[in-house]
Each structure stands twice: as structure tokens, then as C-alpha cells.
Structure 1
Amino acid sequence: MKIRIVDIADKAGVSAGTVDRIIHQRGRYSEKTKEKVEKAIQELGYAPDIMARNLALKKELHIVCLIPNPNDTKYWERPISGIHKAISELASFKVDIKTVLFLPRKDDFKIACEQILQSNPDGVVYVPMFLQESLSFAELLNDKGIPFVHINIHHSLANPLSYVGQDPIAAGKTAASLCAMALQKNHHILIAYISKEKQEYSHLQDRIDGFIQYFDHKHSDQSQIFHLDIKTNKDESEYDKQLMQYLNKHPNIQLIYVPNSRAYKIASILKKYKRKDFIVIGFDTLIENITYLKEGYIDLIIGQQSKSQGFNAVMLLFNALFRKEAVNPQNLLPVDILNAENIDFYEGLMQ
């Protein structure tokens, strides 16, 4: 049986107008009256008519998603794909969802943030790529009363409505546990950090910290861990030479751990020298990573459901703004272990 506003009013002993004000959170009413109405709603099992609420909206909701440009790093194609899926699902609602792209540079990020603030949106989804700039943006959003959701990288000091993404320390520990199973006695590990320039991405450092914590706690006396920073903004032959010289200098290195999405850079060099004697573990389902995974130059990929990050963040923010739903401050996604046998079935990659 459909529960009507008047049924709730009768049960709570108040007017239908009072029930309407409480359900839609407008006008004046006492806390005691609110409690009576909420109790009646719960006992009757009332669920509001979402489409009617949509029609009653006096203005369109505006949500902005601030995402790194995938032309620079292809990883971001999948969160953007998730955002597009959310846009499609919410097409019948009064909500306008825009995606703003920025190059992974502080100045470009700041310009994009300023543009978003000027547009005065109802909510924002963004990747807090640069710590201080992200905290400044968050402070301005909080001052304006604009709720925001972080994806991929979490800065709790920013006080976001929620974070959608992976626990990077847990991801690092997961990668380390896989390494520990594969590593032979007296063999060592190389953590290869590959980037175009010096970066401060906290989630990548957390993946490294989690990895090291695991070995310090469980295998401290078995293996050495070496570190190598490889800058890909120079000629390819230079970092090719840098890696091979390092591996030749440390012949006991058996396993290479890449804490970001660029494991394919390592794999391409190993393929060039026909070196399949290393175990390579990296992150993220880029086409290049998948190709080398299937060829045997990458052994395992840690997936973080990047498409779901974009989709879930938009839906969560919409539900908070439109349906007034309570929000979990952390919406953690699984640490997925992918190999050549199961990669084709992961998060719709073959679609």
C-alpha cells in the first residue's frame, strides 16, 4: 500500500503541511515535532517519491568534477568514464554535471579551482593531487558551504564530505605480501618510482610505506629493498640505461615494484633486453600495462576500480544533495589482484 503524507500526519498527530515541511527540510518546526514525524515515517515504512521531489526542485543542481587530463596520464580515462556513466544514469533528474580537466601542474590546478569557485556549484568531486593547493581549495569550498568528495587521493585535513578510493597503505601491504610469496631466498627487491618530474603525491608514498612496513614487520631479515627514481622527461635511452646499469650493479634483485601506473615503462625496457627473469608488480589497468601483463613482462597488477571511483563519487554526492542521504566519510574500494588470466574480466575492460 502506498503511504501518503496524510497517513504520516495522522499517525504523528500533526498537520500534513508540517509533515511536508519536515520531509523537504523547509520552513519552521520544533525538534519534538520532527522526532514524532520521523518515528511515524519509520513505523509506516514510508519512502519519498523521488521523481516528485525532482519535479519540485526549484533549480537545477550543478556538480563539477575536477580531474587530471587523461592526455597526460591515461589512467584518468577510466574515472572519467565512470563520471559519464553517472551522467547517463541521472539524465532524468534536474542535475547538470560538468567535468573540468587540468594538467598535473600546480598552476593549472589552481586556475581550474578558481574557475570552479566562480561558477558556484552545488557540489564538487575532485582529485586532490597537490596537497597545499588542495587544502586551500577545500577551505574555500567549506567557506562557501559547498560539499565536496575526494577520489583517488585522500587528505583528511581537507574535511571532505567523503573519500572514494583505495586505502594506499593496504595496497602497498598487499603488493608486499605477494612479493614475499614469490621472492626466493637471498634475492632482493627494487622499488622503481617512475615520473616525469619530482612529485608530492601522498598516495604513492603511502603505497611505498605500506610495502616497506610489511617487510619490516614480517620479513626484515630476508631481503634488501633498493630504491630507484627514474625520470621519464629525458631521452628514453637515458632511463633505459639507468635501469639496466642499476640491475647489473645489483644482480640479486629479483623483483621490481612500481607504485604508480607506469610499470609498462619498466616492462618495455625488460622486453627490449629480453629479460623475463624479473617479477614485476605495478598498479592500474592502462592498456600498456595490460599488454605487457599478457606478454609476461608484468606479472601482477593491483587494480583500484578507477571507473567505479568516478561513478560512485558522483552518485554519492548527488544522493547527499538531492536525497539528503547520510554519507560514509570513507568509501574504500577493494585492493584487486590481477594477472594475465583474469584481467579481461575486470571492471568491464573489454567493453
Structure 2
Amino acid sequence: MKPAGDGGAVATVRIVDIARMAGVSTATVDRVIHNRGKVSAGNLARIREVLERVDYRPNLIARSLASGRRYAVAVVMPRFAEGDYWADFEAGIARAEAEARRYNVEVHRFYFDQYDRTSFDALLERLRAESFDGVLLATLFAERVIPFAGELDRREIPYVFVDSDLPECHRLAYYGTSSFDAGVVAARLLFERLDPGADIVVGRILHHGDGGSNQCRERERGFRDYLARHDFRGTLHHVSLRLDDGAHNARMLDELFDCHRSIAGAVTFNSTCYILGGYLAARQRTDVRLVGYDVIARNRRMLEEGVVTALVAQRPGMQGYCGVMALCGWLVEGRRPAAVNNLPIDILLRENISYYANNIN
């Protein structure tokens, strides 16, 4: 509904009001709104003009409850521990879930191990036997998501992507940052603090079954693109790290730093920059600038302590909330969201981190 003329308050426009403005009966307006019965061309034109003028939207809650139709939405996401990136995403899902229930939409969660592609494969196999009206899907394993999206297309099940976009798929919508541009941002944050000839460490977390997530690959592509377009004369040194093996990580990094004395920068393309940060703090390497992603508790603490130079964040709570609500709008009202919904790329420094909340929206 459009705002009232004074004070900006939103007026509630009823069917009886529309009928009065169009000069027709309420029964005629009801037939137009609910697309049932015959209406003369003249009355139809007058009613549609009024509906457009007042920006009328039907009461979706009443419509869905009256129809008795129930919908099921599957949310496919990584397992997480408290304080992880995906815990903030889950908070957005929970907030949307509370609203979705009012529209007779139920949310069902399905989890996989984000560092093991076989776990994702097993979950997809399970989902093939399930029945859903819509799917919200984290796209970490693009090579597996693409064929599964094709199956959803054939079954005419709408799906929404989060984490990173796969524009070759017929998704209903994408909610998240541009992964490529987020890589460009990280490169600029790091490059502007280094000598152009300095070397940079790229920390990668080992995945079982493939070379990492789609988002990480796109971020690295953007990172490399920025360096290639500027006066970077150093070398990128990749190192494979493990989530829960500090001894292995220290051994690999010690060897790398011993062999390449010109290293002055470091980056990770997922939320685990605390691994590199912990190493730098333990070795008292204050000469190395480190940029990472996501304001999880361990990353935030290292940013506050000055170990991490900057964090690039992407509002996971907003991704989860908007993704579920987009499916609700489509299933209940037939309202199609924009295909690409790029959310802000936030830059967090030691000086502004105290003002930031992960679930900002």
C-alpha cells in the first residue's frame, strides 16, 4: 500500500475501498483479485487502475491459511559449531522460519560437511528421495550443485542460491556477495599495504574430494585479477593447511617462510584466517599483513589484537533470511524476486570492528 498523504503512515486499503474508488461492487473486485468469474472489460480496467494506484497487495497470510495449502522448503547448508560463519547464516534461517510458518511454509534443514565432497554427495542422494516445494542451497561444491539444479528444474522445484552464484543455473534468485569482487577487495586491502615486489602466502584448507569451494575459487580469481592489473611483482605461494592439526600447519609455514624471506603478506579465501593468524602471533611475525574473510569469533579477536589487518564480511544472516522469504513470496504469492541480489561487501578494520554485527541487515 502507498503511504497516506500526511505523516507517511501506511493506510490499509480494503476491498470495499477499492470497489468505491472504481465505482463497482465488492463482489466484482473480489472476482478480479482472486481471478474467478467474468468481469466486463470496462470494470476490469477501472479496478486494475485502482489496484495499481494504491499498490494493493492481498493479505498473503489470510490467503495461504484459507487455501489450506502447506509448503515445505529444504535448506541445504554445512554443519557448524557455535561461533562459525554458518551459525550466523542459521540465525537468519531461524528468523525467516518464524515468519514462514504464518504462510503455512515449513523449513527443513539438511547438513553436510563443507570440507568433504562425499558428504555433500550423500546428502544430495538423500534429497532426491524427498519431496519439497522449494530449496535454499549453499553452492560450495559447484560441480555437484549444477547437475542437482538441473534435476530440480526438471521437477519444476524453485531453488535459491547462497554463498556464491552459479548464473548458468535457472535459480529463482541468488543472495550473497559477488565472490569475484570480494576477491578484488581483499587484494586491494593487502596490496596497498605492501611493497609491489613482496611475496604473498595464500592459505588453503584441504578438502576431501576436490580443490575447494566455488566461492573460494571465485575470490581467488578476483584477487589475482586485481594483482594482474596493478604493479604486483612478487610471487603467490600456496600452502595447504589443516583445520585441526596445528603441528602440521606450523611445520608447513615454517618451511615456507624459511625458504621465502620476501613474504610480507598473507590471505585466506574462506573464514579460517585465524589459522594463519595464530601462526603469525606465535612466531611474533608483526611484519606480515594478513587479510581474511568473515567476522567469526576467532577472526574478530585477532583483528582486535592487530594480528589480522582486515576482514571482508558478507552478512550471512541476511542471506539466510532473504533466501527463505524469497521462496515464501514465490510459493504463496507467485512474486518473483530479482535473479541476482548482491549484498554489501563489508570491510572491517581494527578501528571499526566494535560497531559491527555479523547478522546486520
Query: TM tier, shorter chain?
Result: 0.7 to 0.9
**Corresponding residue for residue 188 of structure 1:** 199
Deviation string 1:180-226 (CA, Å, 9 cap, x unpaired) is: 2211353232222233444342221111111111121122xx43131
User: SS of the counterpart of 2:254?
Assistant: helix
**Corresponding residue for residue 166 of structure 1:** 177
Question: Structure 2 regions of 5+ residues with no counterpart?
Answer: 1-10
Cα separation, 1, equivalents of 2:150 and 2:279 = 44
Query: Please, which moves more after superposition, 116-125 or 20-29?
Result: 20-29
Deviation string 1:159-188 (CA, Å, 9 cap, x unpaired) is: 110011110111111111112221135323
Deviation string 1:216-241 (CA, Å, 9 cap, x unpaired) is: 1122xx43131313131684322212
Cα separation, 1, equivalents of 2:253 and 2:55 = 63
Cα distance change, pair 228–44 in 1 and its aligned pair in 2 (3 A): closer
Is the Cα–Cα contact under 8 Å of residues 317 and 358 in structure 2 kept in the other structure? no
Query: Please, which moves more after superposition, 162-171 or 98-107?
Result: 98-107
Cα distance change, pair 50–235 in 1 and its aligned pair in 2 (3 A): closer
Amino acid at match of 1:212: R
Residue 321 (structure 1) aligned with residue 331 (structure 2): yes
Shift in Å, 1:288: 1.4
Residue 127 (structure 1) aligned with residue 132 (structure 2): no
Is the Cα–Cα contact under 8 Å of residues 117 and 141 in structure 1 kept in the other structure? no
**Corresponding residue for residue 202 of structure 1:** 214
Cα separation, 1, equivalents of 2:15 and 2:121 = 47
User: SS of the counterpart of 1:100?
Assistant: strand
**Corresponding residue for residue 330 of structure 1:** 340
Shift in Å, 1:333: 0.9
Deviation string 1:250-278 (CA, Å, 9 cap, x unpaired) is: 11111111111111111111122121211
**Corresponding residue for residue 6 of structure 2:** none
Query: Percent identity over the alignment?
Result: 27
Cα distance change, pair 185–151 in 1 and its aligned pair in 2 (3 A): closer
Shift in Å, 1:10: 7.5
Is the Cα–Cα contact under 8 Å of residues 79 and 86 in structure 2 kept in the other structure? yes
Residue 139 (structure 1) aligned with residue 154 (structure 2): no
Residue 218 (structure 1) aligned with residue 230 (structure 2): yes
Shift in Å, 1:70: 0.8
Cα separation, 1, equivalents of 2:87 and 2:40 = 49
Is the Cα–Cα contact under 8 Å of residues 189 and 223 in structure 1 kept in the other structure? no
Cα distance change, pair 291–43 in 1 and its aligned pair in 2 (3 A): closer
Query: Please, which moves more after superposition, 300-309 or 230-239?
Result: 230-239
Cα distance change, pair 187–115 in 1 and its aligned pair in 2 (3 A): closer
Cα distance change, pair 92–273 in 1 and its aligned pair in 2 (3 A): same
**Corresponding residue for residue 70 of structure 1:** 80
Cα distance change, pair 318–349 in 1 and its aligned pair in 2 (3 A): closer
Is the Cα–Cα contact under 8 Å of residues 309 and 349 in structure 2 kept in the other structure? yes
Deviation string 1:287-343 (CA, Å, 9 cap, x unpaired) is: 111122122221111101111111111112212222332310011111111122322
Matched residues, number:
348
Cα separation, 2, equivalents of 1:287 and 1:73 = 6
Shift in Å, 1:64: 1.4
Q: Considering only aligned residues, what root-mean-square deviation do their CA atoms show, in Å?
A: 3.0
User: SS of the counterpart of 1:266?
Assistant: helix
Shift in Å, 1:31: 10
**Corresponding residue for residue 38 of structure 1:** 48
Cα separation, 2, equivalents of 1:273 and 1:67 = 35
**Corresponding residue for residue 96 of structure 1:** 106
Amino acid at match of 1:85: R
User: Among 150, 164, 175, which residue is 2:186 paired with?
Assistant: 175
Question: Structure 1 regions of 5+ residues with no counterpart?
Answer: none
Cα separation, 2, equivalents of 1:101 and 1:134 = 14
Cα separation, 2, equivalents of 1:183 and 1:243 = 20
Query: Please, which moves more after superposition, 179-188 or 17-26?
Result: 17-26
Is the Cα–Cα contact under 8 Å of residues 162 and 175 in structure 2 kept in the other structure? yes
User: SS of the counterpart of 1:54?
Assistant: helix
Amino acid at match of 1:203: Q
Cα separation, 2, equivalents of 1:339 and 1:10 = 57
Is the Cα–Cα contact under 8 Å of residues 314 and 343 in structure 2 kept in the other structure? yes
Deviation string 1:40-75 (CA, Å, 9 cap, x unpaired) is: 411344332233223323222211111111149932
Amino acid at match of 1:310: G
Q: How does 1:292-311 map to 2 (within 5 A)?
A: 292-311=302-321
Cα separation, 2, equivalents of 1:162 and 1:62 = 18
Cα distance change, pair 15–302 in 1 and its aligned pair in 2 (3 A): same
User: SS of the counterpart of 1:118?
Assistant: coil
Amino acid at match of 1:263: C
Amino acid at match of 1:213: D
Cα separation, 1, equivalents of 2:25 and 2:195 = 74
**Corresponding residue for residue 322 of structure 2:** 312
Shift in Å, 1:80: 0.9
Shift in Å, 1:107: 3.4
Amino acid at match of 1:270: L
Task: Provide the TM-score with structure 1 as the length reference.
Answer: 0.87
